[in-house]
Each structure stands twice: as C-alpha cells, then as structure tokens.
Amino acid sequence: MSKTYFVLSLFGFAAIAAALAGCSKEQAPAPSTVVEEQGVEDVEIPELSPSDVTDAMASLSETDRAAALAQKVCPVSDEMLGGMGTPIKVTVNGRDVFLCCEGCREKLEANPDQYLAKLDAK
C-alpha cells in the first residue's frame, strides 16, 4: 500500500469517526497529528478558508451571524465557529451561546456556568 493511499485512508476514517461522534476533546488525534506520527512528509492539509466560514454563517440571521462572529469560538470545544458547518444556537441561563456542532450541546447544558465563564473571560 502506498504512503499516499495510507494517508488518504486515515483522513477518510477520521472524517467518518468525527461525523459519527460529534466533536469532543477526547477523540482520536487530528489527522495532522496522525500523519506526523506515521512519518509521512510533504502531505498538505487543507486549511479552513474564510469563504468556508462565510458559507457556514450564511444561513444564520443577520443578528445571529453578528453574534456568532463576535463570539468566534465554541466554548466547549475551543474550535472556530463555522469550521464544522453552521453554528448551533443554544440558550442557557437566559443567554444565547453558539456552538460548533450539535455534539457540544449536552456538555454546555450539563454545566452552563463553566462554559459561560469561558466566554466571559475572553
């Protein structure tokens, strides 16, 4: 099996696992880490482009888009909002919070004070 095919297979498995599990800090290492551990060099990992984030934010209302862009980061995963598609709006303790994905909702709702404090600290 060629190195290129092996690396592409790893990316495919990582994408499937992420889609099935939602995001979580406890997941397997990111594909870039796996590639480095395998010793494969010169593999280009695509970055998230500004147009991808713009497309992800496009379905939000103008007010929600402005709030999500101001928040910038999911308080649960610390991932950029828009990187996993349209941010999820959740209201906890009377406050609207945007999450990177549906997988973060349960943690936010279980411990809202912890994550609201993270947003307030930024």
Domain-embedded: residue 43: no
| Structural domain count of the chain | 2
Q: What is the pLDDT of residues 62-97, one digit of tens each?
A: 899 989 999 999 999 999 999 889 999 999 999 999
- Global pTM? 0.60
Whether the pLDDT of residue 99 is over 90: the answer is yes
H/E stretch holding 91 reads: strand 88-92
Per the structure, the complete domain to which residue 80 belongs is given by 50-121
Domain-embedded: residue 44: no
Same domain (yes/no): 26, 79: no
Q: Collect all residues with Cβ–Cβ distance below 8 Å to 49 and sequence separation of at least 6.
A: none
DSSP of 5-64? HHHHHHHHHHHHHHHHH---TTSPPPHHHHHHHHT--S---PPPPHHHHHHHHTTS-HHH
Q: What is the pLDDT of residues 37-56, one digit of tens each?
A: 444 455 554 455 666 567 88
Whether the pLDDT of residue 14 is over 60: the answer is no
